[in-house]
Chains A and B, each alone.
Chain A
Amino acid sequence: AQSVAQPEDQVNVAEGNPLTVKCTYSVSGNPYLFWYVQYPNRGLQFLLKYITGDNLVKGSYGFEAEFNKSQTSFHLKKPSALVSDSALYFCAVRDPSGGYQKVTFGTGTKLQVIP
């Protein structure tokens, strides 16, 4: 069975400071990993994904994430936070080894960027 954990319900960061939103996963094979963002009263928007290749993945709005196989992590990062980054962030995992597999989402981390 696949699972994903976002250990922090909320992350607070000052505007202009670097931000990190943590995600760890568990799959039986090689994972496909995703980050999505949800603004209030909106659907989820895709930020970035890791399928294969370079462990550092760059995505939308200046976000990036690093795939670390040994630590089974896929933390989301941004060098300088903006107030407009305040939203709910979801990490998701899919295990391609089992054929058609559901996507498992984490519980979400609320990011609050303080002006």
Chain B
Amino acid sequence: DSGVTQTPKHLITATGQRVTLRCSPRSGDLSVYWYQQSLDQGLQFLIQYYNGEERAKGNILERFSAQQFPDLHSELNLSSLELGDSALYFCASSPLQGVGETQYFGPGTRLLVL
């Protein structure tokens, strides 16, 4: 158990809908990262937050947005969902924002868009 929690574990929704994925980092960690894992795209970095501020952006679609709250939990919002958004979404955390820091991954949220 990494200490990173993600809810929900599974999510089934329809195209065009909007969902929110939630992540609680390990106690004391200030950075949160979001990843998408799919069969065709592999593991893709989406976005990083550090202490409430956006730090790095990867292959995140405009339909997706994220934020980190004062209590350091983070939410990833996915809107206008398409079939291709079906994937496993991981959150990870690290103590600070250093480039060499180890990231600790949560168990993931499996999203199925029908």
Binding site for B on A (CB under 8 A): 32, 34, 36, 42-46, 49, 51, 90, 94-96, 100-108
Contacts and interface: CB of A to CB of B under 8 A. Distances in A.
Nearest to B59: A102
A101 B45 CA distance: 10
Contacts of B18: none
Given A32-B99, A32-B100, 16 more contacts: A43-B90, A43-B105, A43-B107, A44-B92, A46-B102, A94-B100, A95-B99, A100-B56, A100-B97, A102-B45, A102-B56, A102-B58, A105-B42, A105-B43, A105-B45, A106-B42
Contact of B43 (A45, A49, A96, A108): A108
Contact of B99 (A45, A46, A90, A94): A94
Nearest to A48: B102
Contacts of B103: 44, 46, 103
B110 to A, nearest CB: 9
B111 to A, nearest CB: 15
A36 to B, nearest CB: 8
A94 B56 CA distance: 12
